[in-house]
A and B are shown apart, each in its own frame.
Chain A
Amino acid sequence: MVFNICGFTHKGTGIYTSNEDNMLINDTQLNEGEFLLFNQPSCVCFISDGVGGSKAGDFASAFVLSKIKELTTEQLNDLNNILYKVNDNLLEVSLNDENKRGCACTLSGLIAFDDFFDFTHIGDSEIWLLRNDMFIKISKDEVADEDNVLSPITNYFGGTKNNLKINTAWEKPELFANDVFLLCSDGLFKSLNVKLVKPILSSTKSLQEKVLKLKENCLTLGSDDNVTAIIIEIISNE
């Protein structure tokens, strides 16, 4: 498989003085800025959003992604079990450090290498798929009330006790050439309507231009929340 990947993360234009989002694009973990990769044979892309209201959300999101970044290919095959261990580590850190007590984060991502691919989705970050002019959300927000934007999330890393339950039953699409996946924190769609995102992803612009346009539009319209997005284009699934 061949992937083009580009993403950005930004603290937004709201009250947040720091960015509690983190993103991982293959071996590169970022807390601010953009990153672009072309013709990658593999894709290990994750977004983690520090849970607002908890202490040290930025630490939690960075912690989880740094653990995934260290994993070998064999370990990625067994990611779910490892994520439970990562969660245990995070809980241990938060219990032992007053300043990090209760820190929590979400996690959404796509792993693809050789013939293996899998999606991970924990919390209310989002995974979207653009295929044949159809733009659909393939993840489901794990919140108490989906109709309420302020509803607390029900599944996350960290917190004060073990709340993590990785759902493996959700319907995950196969990968096809020309598919475009969008991983984003909830901040993106707080700023932009779906109908404003689809034409950008569908355009013939370069991947970098699309990502920069998403970022520019978020900041132009105002993003109260931290905002992160990764666009993954599947060039070939051979």
Chain B
Amino acid sequence: MFQIICPTCSNKNLFETTEQKPVECSFCFTSFTDSIKIEEIAEDKKLIGLRLIYQQNSESVLINNCNCILGRENIGSQLLSNIRINGNQVISRKHCSINLIDGKYYIKDEGSLNGTFYGVSKIDCSKENHIIENNSLIFLGKEAFLVQFQYEDTKKESVDQQSTDTPKETPKPKKYRCKEGCGFESESYMDICPKCMSNNSMVAIYEN
């Protein structure tokens, strides 16, 4: 669904496809020029779960809309039981819980040995639920996981007339690399490098 907001009367002129773009406002008959801004209306996105992406090897755990406990003998056991440092498993059997409350996800430590932390400042999640935001980092012990919300529909961005007339293909980066020299690479962009904790240090790499 698209819309043109009339510059004269602010009426929202809705239409299904760009081919159906109206030439005038349905309310006041103001003519729309070719350069008039067309906005795509983001439809209501339904949150269907979240994915925790382990930043060392990009393997992930998918969590659907339910309350669950993460741990090497619980949800995500296949991934979490293989995370070892010096041969020792660092994720507890019952490490933390992820709870869905009023449509929002929260994380809470479940008495794990190495602790559960949220974000760069490593908020201790042992005492109470901490809300989880999209694209944030959580730490099970020292291991970083990127949170990505899973939606039923992908997000739609607004487009203007010019871009719809002459679509430009933006090449997709092969990976992102921390420019601070720590050597960290990831398939997805992150605001904060989980290895050296530098802000906005990830740069797109288009070729191997």
Q: Footprint of B on A, CB under 8 Å? A: 193, 195-196, 199-200, 202-203, 205, 210, 213, 217
**Which secondary structure characterizes the binding site on chain A?**
helix
A200: chain B residues within 8 A (beta carbon): 28-29
Is B29 touching A213 in the complex (CB atoms < 8 A)? yes
Residues of B within 8 A of A195 (CB): 8-9
**B69 in contact (CB, < 8 A):** no
A205 touches B9 (CB 8 A): no
Instruction: List 25 interface pairs A-B (beta carbons < 8 Å), by A numbering.
Output: A193-B9, A195-B8, A195-B9, A196-B8, A196-B9, A196-B27, A196-B28, A199-B8, A199-B9, A199-B25, A199-B28, A199-B29, A199-B30, A200-B28, A200-B29, A202-B29, A203-B24, A203-B29, A203-B30, A203-B31, A205-B29, A210-B29, A213-B29, A217-B27, A217-B28
Residues of chain A within 8 A (CB-CB) of B27 are 196, 217
How distant is the Cα of A205 from the Cα of B27 in the complex, in angstroms?
A: 13
Cα distance A202–B24 in the bound complex, in angstroms: 12
Complexed CA–CA distance, A210 and B28 (Å) = 9
Closest to B6 in A: A199
Within 8 A of A (CB), among B7-31: 8-9, 24-25, 27-31
- The docked-state distance in angstroms from the alpha carbon of A213 to that of B28 is 8
Chain A hits for B30, CB < 8 A: 199, 203
A96, chain B: closest CB distance, angstroms:
47
Chain A residues whose C-beta falls within 8 Å of the C-beta of B24 in the assembled complex: 203
Q: For the complex, give the distance between the alpha carbons of A200 and B31 in Å.
A: 10
The residue among A193, A195, A199 with the most chain B CB atoms within 10 A of its own CB is A199
Q: In whole angstroms, what is the CA distance A195 to B28 when docked? A: 9
B25's nearest neighbour on chain A, judged by CB, is A199
B91 to chain A, nearest CB (A): 61
Nearest-CB residue, chain B, relative to A209: B29
Kindly list chain A residues whose C-beta atoms are within 8 Å of the C-beta of B29. 199-200, 202-203, 205, 210, 213
Q: Tell me, in angstroms, the Cα distance from A176 to B25 when the chains sit together.
A: 28
In the bound complex, CA of A200 to CA of B29 (Å): 5
User: Which B residues touch A193, using CB under 8 A?
Assistant: 9
CB distance from A165 to the nearest CB of B (A): 37
Bound together, the chains give a CA A205 to CA B28 distance in angstroms of 11
For the complex, what is the distance from the CA of A203 to the CA of B29, rounded to whole Å?
6
Which A-B residue pairs are the 4 nearest by beta carbons? A203-B29, A199-B30, A199-B28, A200-B29
| Bound complex: CA A196 to CA B25 (Å) | 11
Name the residue on A nearest B8 (C-beta): A199
Instruction: List the B residue with the shortest CB-CB distance to A200.
Output: B29
Cβ–Cβ < 8 Å partners of B8 in chain A: 195-196, 199
Chain A residue contacts of B9, Cβ below 8 A: 193, 195-196, 199
From residue B33, how far is it (CB to closest CB) to chain A in Å?
13
0/1 string, B23-43, CB within 8 A of A gives 1 = 011011111000000000000
Tell me, rounded to whole Å, the shortest Cβ–Cβ distance linking B79 to chain A.
57
Q: What is the CB-to-nearest-CB distance from A231 to chain B, in angstroms, rounded to a whole number?
A: 13
| CB neighbours of A202 from chain B (8 A) | 29
Q: How far is the CA of A152 from the CA of B30 in the complex (A)?
A: 35
Q: Which residues of chain A come closer than 8 Å to B25, judged between CB atoms?
A: 199
B11 nearest in chain A by CB position: A196
Additional A-B contacts beyond A199-B8, A203-B30, A217-B27 (9; CB < 8 A): A195-B8, A196-B8, A196-B28, A199-B28, A200-B28, A200-B29, A202-B29, A203-B31, A213-B29
Nearest chain A CB to B26 CB, angstrom units: 9
In whole angstroms, what is the CA distance A199 to B28 when docked? 6
Complex: chain B residue closest to A195, CB-CB = B8
Instruction: List residues of chain B with CB within 8 A of the CB of A196.
Output: 8-9, 27-28
Q: How far is the CB of A180 from chain B (nearest CB, A)?
A: 13
Interface residues of B in 79-128 (CB under 8 A from A): none
Looking at A196, A203, A210, the one whose CB has the most chain B CB atoms below 10 A away is: A196
